[in-house]
Amino acid sequence: MTRLTPDLIEGVPDDKIDLDSRLLKMTGKTVKGIALEAAGFDVDDMDLSGFRVGVVPITSGLGVISGFSASVDAIVRRLGMDSHVTEGTDVNGFAEAVDDGVDLIMMADDNKFVAYNTKTNRQTDNSWGTAMGYSVALKNAAGGLQGKDVLVIGAGYVGSWAVRILMEMGANVSVTDIVYPKAKALEDAYGAKALEDVDDALSKHKLVLNAAPAIFSGDRIAEGAIFSTPGVPHYFDEEGRRKARAIIHDPLEIGTAVMAVNSAKYSL
Ligand code: 2YC
């Protein structure tokens, strides 16, 4: 799993990239609208102000990422929830949030990022949240995916979920990974089509969900392609930005918003 760095998320707390206006242009929905659809609601807005959220900084392993807790806190506040970062870290922070009676606890170590619903003892993981959020974004940008060919790049945690989710949305899913057996395993498990040649696959697909830490030069992508691409690092050269019909990306927000709304849903 790719670890974020402070520079990648420094614009998140103040929403410097104005993600909603970019998403509205490409998908017709805001972050909150995508998160609500991802969580299975058929509404574009919902009052979530009744939810109290504790974001707990975790110091284990490689330690805290400067700005990460502040970013998660800001993302959840933009959904209308009542969020704060705990004073304490790790178990202290967790216990503080529990004693405070919050509805959701959000925390991430080096390997897992969860939104835990304290009232129902249920959780939503960032890998699923990111895969679902970026699949919903692609579906809205493409005007539906039923019967359409979609390429998933990367058969890791996010890509594996994305294959399953996109197939459930009715897409004809192909998947590729730098380690071909990982893509083949998804063909064997879910019936997606594993492809070995990523360049050939890219040239033939106008709908792409990129869940790999990979950068694709413009000459490799199809004219008019829609890229739904949570992968970090993220970069498209001038030719790629010209050829693509839409490039949907953010470093943290869509996945986090889906996690929070999906876990809040368990209390409704
Ligand atoms: O600041 C903290 O609490 C750190 N323990 C957070 C570490 C997050 C590590 N994970 C990542 O950087 C990315 C996230 C988008 C979730 C998955 N990978």
The three-class DSSP label of residue 131 is helix
Q: What's the whole-number mean pLDDT along residues 159-186? A: 98
Q: How far, in Å, are 149, 160, 184, 244 from residue 171 at the CA level?
A: 6, 15, 18, 20
Q: What's the whole-number mean pLDDT along residues 70-91? A: 98
pLDDT score for 9: 96
Q: What's the whole-number mean pLDDT along residues 110-132? A: 98
**pLDDT tens sequence across 182-214:** 999 999 999 999 999 999 999 999 999 999 999
**% of residues, the chain, pLDDT over 90:** 99
Flag whether pLDDT at 1 surpasses 80.
Answer: no
Domains of the chain by range and CATH?
A: 6-126+253-265 (3.40.50.12150), 129-248 (3.40.50.720)
Q: What's the rounded Cα separation, in Å, for the pair 106 and 132?
A: 18
Pairing of β 104-108 and β 113-117: antiparallel
pLDDT score for 126: 98
**Interval between CA 85 and ligand 1 midpoint (Å):** 15
Contact present, 31 and 130 (Cβ < 8 Å): no
Flag whether pLDDT at 266 surpasses 80.
Answer: yes
pTM comes to 0.98
Short-list 23, 223, 236, CA closest to 139: 23
**pLDDT tens sequence across 213-243:** 999 999 999 999 999 999 999 999 999 999 9
Residues whose beta carbon lies within 6 Å of some atom of ligand 1: 1, 3-4, 57-58, 64-65, 68-69, 108-110, 113, 126, 252
Flag whether pLDDT at 2 surpasses 90.
Answer: no
Q: In a mutational test of the pocket of ligand 1, which residue from 65, 125, 134, 161 has the highest number of ligand atoms less than 8 Å from its CB?
A: 65
**pLDDT tens sequence across 30-73:** 999 999 999 999 998 999 999 999 999 999 999 999 999 999 99
Residues 6+ apart with CB under 8 A from 61: 109, 110, 111
pLDDT-derived band at 129 (thresholds 50, 70, 90) equals: very high
Flag whether pLDDT at 115 surpasses 90.
Answer: yes
Residues 6+ apart with CB under 8 A from 180: 194, 196
Q: CA 82, 83, 84: angle at the middle one, nearest 5?
A: 135
Q: What's the whole-number mean pLDDT along residues 20-36? A: 98
